[in-house]
Structure 1
Amino acid sequence: MRLTAYDNSKNYKEKVKLYHDKKLLKREFQPGQQVLLFNSRFKILQGKLKSKWSGPFIIKEVKPHGAIELVNPAADDPNKSWVVNGQRLKQYLGGEIQRLTTIIHLSDP
């Protein structure tokens, strides 16, 4: 009876692990790319609401197993960097956007 209970618990843990692993997103980042960092210590304070995402930060180096080294370009010391989990990042799509404009010169006939 104990042996079957042990097997059932092992099977349950494997199924739950597979379920959670499916939820992880495969993200690929390159050095020089801009990203946003998820602030997991977000707490609702009285006053204005703050965003859970901070940044943008620049990727300095992509390390094995999903670790990513970030640099804050707006910081006082541009050489200061730190390592975060790649699951806490998402690509920053803002910034400078090339806009197509058309200029039509009108003249009197």
Structure 2
Amino acid sequence: MNELDEFHINYYESSVLYKKKIKKYHDRKIEKREFVMDDLVILFNSRLHLFSGKLKSKWTGPFIVMKVFPHGAVELKNKEGTRFNVNGQRIKVYTGKEEIVQEVVEAYYLDEV
């Protein structure tokens, strides 16, 4: 019985060490993103299914950062002036020209050619 208890204790200690090591590795790989007011950002939209296909971009925007909350949330404003809150991990700084992100998609079907 004592051997079984020792086995459980050793297993528990090794699992705790493993979890700490994995957490440390994971935390190193997370990008620390800091935003300031009036930054242009783009938003990752995983629910956008307007066009089927794997080649379309899931990033929409640009949006303007209006407020940065201390716990990682960010308040954004779109072109129409609507404000909404998003998780800071779902946005990244936009560095391109504003009119390129929202582009028109044309479809050419092979049976029409």
- Structure 1 residue aligned with 2:56, among 44, 50, 75? 50
Normalized per residue, which structure has more helix?
Answer: 2
Give per-residue Cα distances to partners, 1:48-74, cap 9 Å, x unaligned.
84202110011010000221111111x
Length-normalised TM-score, structure 1: 0.72
Q: Distance in 1 between matches of 2:48 and 2:66?
A: 25
Q: Distance in 2 between matches of 1:31 and 1:63?
A: 11
Structure 2 stretches lacking a partner, 5+ long: 1-6, 99-113
Distance 1:46 1:40, change over 3 A: closer
How far the C-alpha of 1:43 sits from its partner, in A, is 5.8
Within 5 Å, give how 1:1-109 maps onto structure 2. Answer: 1-41=7-47, 46=52, 49-73=55-79, 75=80, 78=81, 80-95=82-97
Identity of counterpart residues, as a percentage?
A: 52
CA RMSD across the alignment:
2.3
Give the aligned length. 92
